[in-house]
C-alpha cells in the first residue's frame, strides 16, 4: 500500500482528463464531503458539482467558493433521512445531467442515542448511513455507468464513506432496528459492508472507505490551507 506522502504527491501532480466532469455530494456541506467537493472542483476543468445537505448557510458558502474555483455548482437543500427526499434529489440530478463521474455519499450523524424514528418510521442513523445511501446508488448508478460507458473509465466512481473496520453484530430478527440495543452506527456499518460484498460488481468503481484515513488525507493541517477559505 502506498504511504500517505506518496498518495499526496501523486494527487498533487495527477491531472485527470475528463470532459465536463460531474460530481454529486450527498452530505457535501461539511467534513469529508465538502473537502472532496473542493478538490474535485480544483482537479477538473469547469466541472458541474451538486452539494446536498440541510444547511442553507453552509451550502450557499460552498457554492460561492466552488463557483470561484470555476465550477458550475448547485446546492440542493434536503433532509436525506427521508427516502422521499433521496428520490426527489435524485430526480433533480437526473433532470440536470446525463452522467455522473463521482457520486460521493458521506451524509450522517454521530450519535449514541437509541432508536430515533424519522417521519417515515426508519431509525435516523440507519436512514442516513444505510437506506438512503443505497437508494441513491440504485437511483443514480446508471448515470455513473453512463460516464464509464462514454469513456471516463478511470473517473466513474461511487464512494460511500462510513466506518468499515467498525462493524458490529446485528440481529437478523430485528432487521429494521426496532428493538435492538446495538449501537446503530456499527449495525449500519455491518449492513453497508455486507451489501457492498453482495453487490454484483458493476464495471465502475464502488468503494466504501473509512472516514478516518480520508480525514487524515484531506483535512488541512491549518485552516488557511483549506481550499474553501
Ligand atoms: N469523521 C469521523 O471520525 C467519523 C467516524 C465514524 C463515522 N463517520 C461518518 O462518516 C461520514 C462522513 O464523516 P464527516 O466527518 O465528513 O461528517 P460531517 O462533517 O459531520 O458531515 C456530515 C454531512 O452529513 C450531512 N447530514 C447530516 N444529517 C443530514 C440529514 N438529515 N440530511 C441531509 N444531510 C445530512 C451534513 O449536512 P447538513 O448538516 O447540512 O445536513 C454534513 O454535510 C458521516 O456519516 C459520519 O457520521 C465519521
pLDDT at 222: 44
pLDDT at 4: 82
111 within ligand 1 shell (Cβ under 6 A): no
Domain hosting 176: range is: 19-225
First-to-last alpha carbon distance for the chain, in angstroms, is 32
pTM of the shown model: 0.90
Confirm whether 27 is domain-assigned.
yes
Atom of ligand 1 nearest to the CA of 55: 40
Strands 157-160 and 205-207: parallel
Q: What is the pLDDT of residues 8-65, one digit of tens each?
A: 888 888 888 898 999 999 999 999 999 999 999 999 999 999 999 999 999 999 999 9
Ramachandran assignment for 70, one of left (phi > 0), alpha (psi -120 to 50 degrees), beta (any other): left
**Which of 24, 26, 30, 135 to mutate for ligand 1's pocket (most ligand atoms within 8 Å of CB)?**
30
Confirm whether 8 is domain-assigned.
no
Confirm whether 53 is domain-assigned.
yes
Atom of ligand 1 nearest to the CA of 59: 40
127 within ligand 1 shell (Cβ under 6 A): no
pLDDT at 226: 44
Confirm whether 12 is domain-assigned.
no
What parts of the chain have a pLDDT lower than 70?
A: 164-177, 179-202, 212-214, 216-229
Domain count, the chain: 1
Confirm whether 65 is domain-assigned.
yes
3-class DSSP assignment, residue 204 = coil
pLDDT at 90: 98
Length in residues, the chain: 229
Confirm whether 7 is domain-assigned.
no
CATH code: domain of residue 59: 3.40.50.720
Confirm whether 220 is domain-assigned.
yes
Q: What cell numbers appear for 97 in the block?
A: 445531467
Confirm whether 5 is domain-assigned.
no
Amino acid at each position: 500500500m502506498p504511504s500517505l506522502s506518496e498518495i499526496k504527491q501523486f494527487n498533487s501532480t495527477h491531472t485527470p482528463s475528463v470532459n465536463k466532469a460531474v460530481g454529486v455530494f450527498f452530505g457535501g456541506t461539511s467534513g469529508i464531503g465538502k473537502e472532496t467537493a473542493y478538490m474535485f472542483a480544483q482537479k477538473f476543468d469547469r466541472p458541474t458539482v451538486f452539494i446536498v445537505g440541510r444547511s442553507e448557510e453552509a451550502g450557499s458558502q460552498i457554492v460561492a467558493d466552488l463557483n470561484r474555483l470555476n465550477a458550475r455548482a448547485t446546492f440542493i437543500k434536503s433532509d436525506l433521512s427521508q427516502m422521499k427526499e433521496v428520490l426527489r434529489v435524485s430526480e433533480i440530478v437526473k433532470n440536470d445531467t446525463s452522467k455522473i463521474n463521482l457520486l460521493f455519499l458521506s451524509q450522517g450523524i454521530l450519535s449514541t442515542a437509541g432508536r430515533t424514528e424519522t417521519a417515515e418510521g426508519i431509525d435516523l442513523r440507519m436512514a442516513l448511513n444505510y437506506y438512503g445511501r443505497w437508494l441513491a446508488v440504485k437511483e443514480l448508478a446508471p448515470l455513473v455507468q453512463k460516464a464509464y460507458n462514454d469513456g471516463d473509465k478511470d473517473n466513474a466512481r461511487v464512494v460511500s464513506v462510513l466506518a468499515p473496520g467498525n462493524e458490529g453484530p446485528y440481529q437478523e430478527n430485528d432487521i429494521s432496528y426496532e428493538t435492538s440495543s446495538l449501537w446503530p452506527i456499527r449495525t449500519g456499518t455491518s449492513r453497508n459492508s455486507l451489501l457492498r460484498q453482495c453487490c454484483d460488481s458493476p464495471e465502475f468503481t464502488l468503494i466504501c472507505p473509512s472516514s478516518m484515513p480520508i480525514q487524515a488525507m484531506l483535512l488541512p493541517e491549518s485552516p488557511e490551507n483549506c481550499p474553501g477559505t
